[in-house]
Amino acid sequence: MLFKDIAILDENLDYQQHQWVGVLGDTIDYIGDDEPSDAAKYGEVYEGAGRLLMPAMYNAHTHAPMTLLRGYAENLPLHEWLQQKCWPFEGKMTGEDNYWATLLSCAEMARYGTVSFSDMYYHTPERARAVDESGLKANLCTSPLAFEPKPIQEFPIFAEMEDSIKNIDGMADGRIKFEGCIHAEYTNNDVTAKTVFDWAKEHNTRMHVHVSETEFEVAGCRERHDGLSPVQWLESLGAFDVPAIAAHCVWVDDEDIEILAKRGVTVAHNPASNMKLSSGFAPIVKMLEAGVNVALGTDGMASNNNHDLFQDMYLMAMLPKGTELDPTLITPKQAVFAATRAGAIAQGRDDCGLVKEGFRADLAVLDITGTSWCPINDMLTNVVYSSHGSDVVLTLCDGRVVYRDGSWPFIDIDMVKAEVVERTQRIQRELAEQVD
The answer to whether 90 contacts Zn ion (rule: CB under 5 A) is no
| Amino acid in position 121 | Y
Which is closer to Zn ion, CB of 252 or CB of 392? Answer: 252
Q: What stretches of 33-189 show up as alpha helix (H) in DSSP?
A: 78-80, 87-91, 95-111, 124-134, 157-167
Which is closer to Zn ion, CB of 26 or CB of 299? Answer: 299
How far are the Cα atoms of 76, 136, 154, 222 from residue 297, in angstroms, in the given order?
21, 16, 32, 26
What stretches of 223-273 adopt beta strand conformation (E)? 244-248, 266-269
Applying CB under 5 A, the span of 143-151, 286-294, 298-306, 369-377 interacting with Zn ion comes to 298-306
- Give phi and psi for 308, each to the nearest 5: -85, 95
- In the window 332-351, what residues touch Zn ion (CB under 5 A)? none
Q: What angle do CA 295, 293, 363 make, to 5 degrees?
A: 45
User: Cα(361)–Cα(197) distance, rounded to whole angstroms?
Assistant: 33
Applying CB under 5 A, the span of 70-78, 89-97, 296-304, 385-393 interacting with Zn ion comes to 296-304
Sign of the Cα pseudo-torsion (223, 228, 230, 235, in order) = negative
Applying CB under 5 A, the span of 19-27, 28-36, 83-91, 292-300 interacting with Zn ion comes to 292-300
> Would you call 345 exposed, middle or buried from its count of C-beta atoms within 10 A (0-12, 13-18, 19+)?
buried
Q: What Rg do the C-alpha atoms of the chain give, in angstroms?
A: 21
Which is closer to Zn ion, CB of 299 or CB of 308? Answer: 299
| Number of shown-chain residues binding Zn ion (CB under 5 A) | 1
Which is closer to Zn ion, CB of 63 or CB of 423? Answer: 63
Residue nearest to Zn ion (CB): 299
Which is closer to Zn ion, CB of 90 or CB of 299? Answer: 299
Applying CB under 5 A, the span of 229-237, 249-257, 299-307, 393-401 interacting with Zn ion comes to 299-307
Contact pattern for Zn ion over residues 206 through 245, marking x by CB under 5 A: ----------------------------------------
Q: Least separation, in Å, of the C-beta of 81 and Zn ion?
A: 12
Q: Least separation, in Å, of the C-beta of 69 and Zn ion?
A: 12
Q: Least separation, in Å, of the C-beta of 217 and Zn ion?
A: 12
| Amino acid in position 211 | V
Applying CB under 5 A, the span of 183-191, 293-301, 353-361, 395-403 interacting with Zn ion comes to 293-301
Task: Compute CA 242 distance to the chain's CA centroid, rounded to the nearest angstrom.
Answer: 19
Q: Do 250 and 281 touch, CB atoms closer than 8 A?
A: yes
Closest CA to 82 of 277, 281, 278: 277
User: Cα(163)–Cα(166) distance, rounded to whole angstroms?
Assistant: 5
- Give phi and psi for 324, each to the nearest 5: -100, -5
Applying CB under 5 A, the span of 33-41, 185-193, 297-305, 333-341 interacting with Zn ion comes to 297-305
Q: What angle do CA 284, 102, 336 make, to 5 degrees?
A: 30
Which is closer to Zn ion, CB of 20 or CB of 81? Answer: 81
| Amino acid in position 179 | E
Applying CB under 5 A, the span of 136-144, 295-303, 336-344, 420-428 interacting with Zn ion comes to 295-303
User: Cα(352)–Cα(363) distance, rounded to whole angstroms?
Assistant: 10
Which is closer to Zn ion, CB of 177 or CB of 208? Answer: 208
Q: Least separation, in Å, of the C-beta of 68 and Zn ion?
A: 15
Q: Do 359 and 28 touch, CB atoms closer than 8 A?
A: yes
Q: Least separation, in Å, of the C-beta of 244 and Zn ion?
A: 15
Q: Least separation, in Å, of the C-beta of 300 and Zn ion?
A: 6
Q: Least separation, in Å, of the C-beta of 26 and Zn ion?
A: 30
Q: Please pick, from the candidates 108, 299, 391, 419, the single residue that binds Zn ion as defined by CB under 5 A.
A: 299
DSSP letters, 346-364, are HTT-TT-SS--TTSB--EE
Which is closer to Zn ion, CB of 267 or CB of 384? Answer: 267
Q: Least separation, in Å, of the C-beta of 62 and Zn ion?
A: 7
Q: Least separation, in Å, of the C-beta of 277 and Zn ion?
A: 10
Which is closer to Zn ion, CB of 54 or CB of 209? Answer: 209
* Three-state DSSP class for residue 384: helix
Angle between helices 157-167 and 124-134 (to 10 degrees): 30
Q: Least separation, in Å, of the C-beta of 316 and Zn ion?
A: 17
Which is closer to Zn ion, CB of 67 or CB of 395? Answer: 67
Q: Least separation, in Å, of the C-beta of 318 and Zn ion?
A: 21
By the criterion CB under 5 A, which residues form the site for Zn ion?
299
